């Protein structure tokens, strides 16, 4: 399988592989790297779990492993290790890949939903609301 644009690099995989839970007995697990790439594909696209491409293995495997590792705290360890390997430069959330629920789409910036009602945020106490207080010029 040739590497794709957003899949794990060999460097990232070398950091992540030792952090993954090891289950030596029973049925051998599906390839962890392939499943991780499937999980990352799903999180990046926002698609349903069932739409994960076949090259990443069964969607149920990706989902079950994601949930199981969340409960075990594996994702926190992975994030911390990869972030440390990149000297903290990797800590970011790309909002272009985060989907908002349809009911939140109409909320304007600055509005806060509180007990079902939209309320305008107020500035901190002691903040002046006159234009000259924040450097605006008056109309001449």
Domain boundaries, the chain: 10-85
C-alpha span between 112 and 106 (Å, rounded): 12
Helix ranges restricted to H, 51-132:
59-72, 74-85
Per-residue pLDDT tens over the stretch 50-100: 999 999 999 999 999 999 999 999 999 988 888 888 776 554 555 555 555
| pTM beyond 0.85 | no
Which has the closest alpha carbon to 120: 111, 128, 132?
111
């Amino acid at each position: 399988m040739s590497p794709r644009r957003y899949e794990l690099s060999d460097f990232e995989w070398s950091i992540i592989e030792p952090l993954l839970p090891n289950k030596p007995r029973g049925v051998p697990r599906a390839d962890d790297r392939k499943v991780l790439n499937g999980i990352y594909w799903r999180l990046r696209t926002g698609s349903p779990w069932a739409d994960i491409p076949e090259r990443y293995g069964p969607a149920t495997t990706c989902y079950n492993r994601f949930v199981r590792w969340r409960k075990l705290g594996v994702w926190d360890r992975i994030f911390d290790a990869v972030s440390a390997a990149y000297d903290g430069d990797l800590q970011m959330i790309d909002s272009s890949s985060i989907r908002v629920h349809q009911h939140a789409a109409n909320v304007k910036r600055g509005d806060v939903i509180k007990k079902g009602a939209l309320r305008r945020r107020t500035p901190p106490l002691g903040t002046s609301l006159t234009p000259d207080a924040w450097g605006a010029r008056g109309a001449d």
